[in-house]
A and B are shown apart, each in its own frame.
Chain A
């Protein structure tokens, strides 16, 4: 009995080890995939977003914005389209510097990408690019399920203080590494916000999230839904990524 059981044990160990190695995802590959999802370094990108926010006891607020990105130079422009009374208000980021623009007074103000967009649960940085591998490291990977999907649950820790959230958890699909859910934490480990990405589009071979629900975990009942449309990877004129562009369209 003993003689037989030793090879069986070894066999079981071998099988389970090979099983483990087959299931252990490649961290670099996942980070690379996350980068490709959140940053388009080799092309311009534009889209229109509808942002609907709700707070308890208040009417839902609605904004429509047009966003232009040139991730290769960390350039970002966003202009409010609706409501009409706010049309032409804009945001411009060039590298580390960011401005907001008020067309009524025709003045630029200092602006932070970490702030919430128009008191919604979306942060301004949600509309710009993020190179995950440069800003975060994966500290833990586990297998999990989200709804009917097999996912990897990733714990990420920020490598610098320029990012909006110091800790993030991602639920990514095991088959294509698309992010389905994210939880954002403060430095003290407090859950700040949860994001559910329920829809993606593949445009020109690239994945773009088209439907996101952000839930504020600090203020109960405050949520924001973002819908992306008119997604394009066509070239954008250089003149768009300038302060004078915001001044020009605001007139």
Chain B
């Protein structure tokens, strides 16, 4: 073995230029793999932490839907239904999830999007404002440190108002020249299919920024749930609130089928001529609170924070089994699904990264293979002589595998060392995000990568893979060389 290793080193030295090119390629691939994995791991962990601690909790409970809702609203293309499908059997679902021993806190929410409206009769002006309708108490219980108030205060239970993010204040000031302070009122304009256009003037209770930077969620406002339900057309009458005849639900109760089709026909006299009072309708009753109790069922989802995040998978499974058992079209999902594709973006980058690594690996294998084939042809006499002296095919194979393994392992280790040093330095210094897009990917404005042991293991596998696969073809060529060829070639 030692002799073979010496022969391999001698051959590599003889073809110094080719060895260096191949080696640099391997080192580069390994460096990208280790450093990239460390970066991706740090970014994913940063994003996960920011979202769980500030926005999603560990588990989201929502209605099953083709266009499921997340903290960024319904995933459908229709902005009209931004708030998504409501949680069915809300009260029962709320009671069940609240009773789970692993659940530390519970917070229902409604996402919506409006325009902060400064339109004039001849000009449409405003800024888009994503909103979360929340119960102030349970929100602050679940995310106690997520906000830093810059002005005013957070919403109080039962209070009508909105808490705006500093970014929106800055945007409105820069684009429209209007300065909003806490205590001012803003006109919010929302449109839904159910309710048409709704405009509500609400007081600005406070102005805040997120304690942890969360570029993906910057600009979001918090609003009282009564106002958001009213704007989103979620305030509907129920049979408790609106008195109706039993006859008004006769078809819904009976569920008539074609074969049982029944038909009634009545002759009526025309109603008497309508008096003036027929065209007058009593004043509306705007006591919204009476229609928007927490148990009214109009929430888009419920967030759960657990005592220990390792319980998340078990809790999700338990809730889903219970909802199935009850026949409720409700599902529990993890923070990634609740975050509206943030985890998906990270995953997409991981896939992209993996593709790059695979391409580098394949290219390395092809180049090493090609180099070795040339080397085999150049060494036909040598190999033929070895065979003539009694060298077995196995020995020839080992010789070439050792050569490729030596290249990939030596330069691979150099790549790992370079990556460890680079990650270590950037872990201390920090890598600033060049723009908002990278802030989103980094989960903050600075990324501090941490060495990924998984990345090092993958690099090890990559090194061995390159070493082995790139030797296959050259070995096959070398093994075809017969002893007689040693004397044929000059």
Contact = CB atoms under 8 A, between A and B. Distances in A.
Interface of A: 46, 50, 52, 54-64, 66, 79, 81-88, 100, 102-105, 107-111, 115-116, 118-119, 146-149, 180-181, 196, 198-204, 210-211, 213, 223, 225, 227, 230-237, 240, 245, 249-251
Contacts of B247: 227
A225 B249 contact: yes
A245 B244 CA distance: 27
B370 to A, nearest CB: 54
Contact of B270 (A54, A199, A204): A204
B132 to A, nearest CB: 21
Contacts of B278: 46
Interface string B307-350: 00000000000000000000011100000000000000000000
A251 B280 CA distance: 10
Contacts of B138: none
A147 B268 contact: no
A56 B329 contact: yes
Given A61-B236, A230-B271, A81 B281 contact: yes
Nearest to A210: B266
B261 A225 contact: no
Nearest to B285: A84
A55 to B, nearest CB: 8
A249 B280 contact: yes
B465 interface: no
A54 B153 CA distance: 40
Contacts of B9: none
Interface in B266-287: 266-274, 278-287
B5 interface: no
Question: What DSSP secondary structure best describes chain A's contact surface?
Answer: strand
Given A87-B284, A103-B284, A105-B201, A59 B258 contact: no
Interface centre among B230, B256, B273, B279 (most CB of A within 10 A): B279
Contacts of A60: 238-239, 249, 252
A22 to B, nearest CB: 24
Contact of A57 (B63, B241, B267): B63
14 contacts: A61-B238, A62-B238, A82-B237, A83-B237, A86-B235, A104-B230, A105-B199, A109-B197, A180-B261, A201-B266, A203-B269, A211-B251, A225-B248, A245-B279
Contacts of B286: 85, 104
B131 interface: no
Interface in B408-435: none
A21 B191 CA distance: 54
Contact of A180 (B263, B270, B280): B263
Contacts of A196: 251, 256, 261
A225 B118 CA distance: 41
Given A102-B199, A251-B283, A199 B264 contact: yes
Contacts of A102: 195-199
Contacts of A249: 279-281
Contacts of A103: 284
Given A198-B256, A230-B271, A62 B282 contact: no
A52 B266 contact: no
A143 B195 CA distance: 42
Contacts of A111: 196
Given A85-B284, A85-B290, A119-B193, A199 B238 contact: no
